[in-house]
Amino acid sequence: MRVTLLYPLALALLATLSLANVVVDLTQTAKFDVSVGQDRPALVAFTAPWCGHCKKLHPIYEEVAAAYSSQPGRVLIANVNADENKELGKRHEIKGFPTIKYFPANSPTTESETYSGPRTVEALVAFIDGKVGTKGKVKQPPPPAVKHLTNADFKDVVYNPNANVLVEYYAPWCGHCKNLAPIYESVAQTFANDDDCVVAALDADAEAHRPIAQEAGIQSFPTLKFYPKGGKDAPEAYTGGRGEDDFINFLNGKCGTFRTKGGGLSELAGRLPSLDSLASRFYSASDDLAERTTILSEAKDFVTRSSASVNATEAKNAAAAYYLKVMDKINSDPSWLTKETNRIKALIEGSVSGAGALAGKKVDELKKKANVLAAFTKRNLSDRAKQAEEKAKKLKEEL
């Protein structure tokens, strides 16, 4: 009679489990009984919602389940809220949270084994593989965005004349360094697409690195120093705040970038204030061909002068050339600006939503072009670009 009553429940549960390998909630006794000790082994965590260790286990346990997503039906990864179902917890002699138990396939649930190893994804997957004969695929975390230096590459990276480099000198045991680590990693991710704005770190307490730390005058941890292009022998001590926005603002001012938190670009990226003014004038003179010709000539003269300036860079020259291209295109086809703006907008939105497969630097390139196109129709952005340039210049003078 019991089997008859539970059969529909079992079918529904199996249908759910066949969709993907996820952590299954078996808090209800009926679900537990039709799932554990049946035709596949099970790893069950008995937890309580108020338990701090259980909260730490939760994301780890989710990754354990995901490790078997390509092998549906081989092993059951489940959770029981034993604080809610105290009778089920009592039946399996749960005396503390979390308690993880392994239940072999086709065996009485009384023949469980309590897991006593480390509560890490790797250790739990290894335990399951050893019991079941499977091979779980643990998702490897992405490599850190922070460039972790050694004595082998320190000089090559930090003294690269083509890169601005911020270096954190830290010690693994330092509490302030540990608190800074996730913030610093987020900052590094924000500037990951900027090859000339490097966020790096050195374990200055490691024996092999102490000569470097001594030469740099490091006396406490963490100590941060900025090594600018053209000023490697006189690095600047970073004394600003240690919030993510503090670091982003500092590096934007020093590197001449326009990064926003998360790695995007502001609407001022790729823009040249002097050409913004000419662009808005050019677009406004839509009914005056002679005026547009004059403005285009002014723009070409400016680009010629700026490209020969000591402050010229490859990025600035490319941006300047794009302004001229836009003017030529508008002259040939007045509707081009609208069509090109919509095309680039669609590409960027597709990439953000996951519908596109554009690399980060390609998205940056498109965003810069979109910003230049906007300069032709939004005169106020020209003023904002000038203000940002003046602010960055002032910040550089103060630091």
Q: Tell me the catalytic residues.
A: 51, 54, 174, 177
Q: What's 376's DSSP letter?
A: T
Per DSSP, the residues of 257-296 read --B-TTS-B-TTTT--HHHHHHHHHHHHTTT-HHHHHHHH
How far is Cα 205 from Cα 230, in angstroms, rounded to an integer? Answer: 28
What's the half-sphere exposure (Cβ side, CA atoms, 13 Å) at 393?
A: 6
* CB atoms inside a 10 Å sphere around CB 284: 15
Per DSSP, the residues of 125-162 read HHHHHHHH-----PPPPPPPSSEEE-TTTHHHHHT-TT
Per DSSP, the residues of 87-133 read HHHHHTT--SSSEEEEE-TTS-TTS-EE--S--SHHHHHHHHHHHH-
How far is Cα 297 from Cα 255, in angstroms, rounded to an integer? Answer: 31
Burial class (CB in 10 A: 0-12, 13-18, 19+), 315: middle
